[in-house]
Structure 1
């Protein structure tokens, strides 16, 4: 069963594949800590932490450009349930499932708590109404 709907490829990345590879390898193979390597590469520490986590799970494949996808409600629910079952953090489960944005998982969890599985369905944009102008 396919749980993803492909939308489009991401044309540009802020950091090149080679840059991400070099930063992760510098941390894994070197004596420096995560914060020091992030500073050496002039980047955010949490971003490097996410790249390292993804690399440890997915290997070299984690450096390749991604395709943006719209996830099905069933996929979102399986991610949230895996997080609960294995007592993982949002960052850990995002790395496990190859999700680029760990805060996305927190949003899915919060939506599920408040409204159930219906909140995990793709949102269709509605009409926006302009504010009436003052006379």
Structure 2
């Protein structure tokens, strides 16, 4: 899937809106899919140039439910909801609708984070004051070997 910058999208949408040329003809002229240009035109008509600003987002459960509720109340299609709510991923609303139908609101919630791994214990569990001379020498040798290994990686 190609990515287009906001200026290009705005140019194409303006041309399709302000000229008597059809959306299909504009799409053909720029070598784009008709549905892509149609989506850009709808975004431009609804939000103006601000609709083309990139917004990387992850959507929380409340937002997803609000989108689905609005679709049900107003009879919006997935494409219309995507444009109305300025959702960057055209297929996201369809996925949300499918997940909601299969598992309800819980299916839309983000998965719980994986359990944290316990931290490794350091090599020496005793404070240096309690270690014998041999233990201290072994730890120094270990730390020197570790330092040498890390230097080789660079």
TM-score, normalised to structure 2, is 0.68
Which residue does 2:104 correspond to in 1?
Answer: 116
Higher helix share: 2
Residue 47 in structure 1 maps to residue 36 in structure 2: yes
Higher relative contact order (CA closer than 8 Å, sequence separation 6+): 1
Sort the Cα spacing of 1:19 and 1:122 in 2 relative to 1 into closer, same or farther, 3 A: same
Moved over 2 A (4+): 123-126
Alignment partner, residue 104 of structure 1: 92
1:74 to 62, 65, 74: 62
Aligned to 1:93: 81
Three-state SS of the structure 2 residue aligned to 1:98 is: coil
Task: Look at both structures and tell me which one has the larger radius of gyration over its CA atoms.
Answer: 2
| 1:102 aligned counterpart, secondary structure | coil
Question: What is the aligned partner in structure 1 of residue 133 from structure 2?
Answer: none
Segments of structure 2 that go 5 or more residues without pairing to the other structure are 115-154
Aligned match of 1:23 in 6, 12, 25? 12
**By how many angstroms is 1:125 displaced?**
7.6
Which stretch of structure 1 is more off in the superposition, 115-124 or 13-22? Answer: 13-22
Q: Could you tell me which residue of structure 2 aligns to residue 32 of structure 1?
A: 21
Give aligned pairs, total.
114
How far apart, in 1, do the equivalents of 2:56 and 2:112 lie? 17
- Normalised TM-score (structure 1): 0.77
Task: Give the number of the structure whose residues are more often strand, by fraction.
Answer: 1
Greater shift, 89-98 or 99-108, is seen at: 99-108
Pair 1:84-2:72 in alignment:
yes
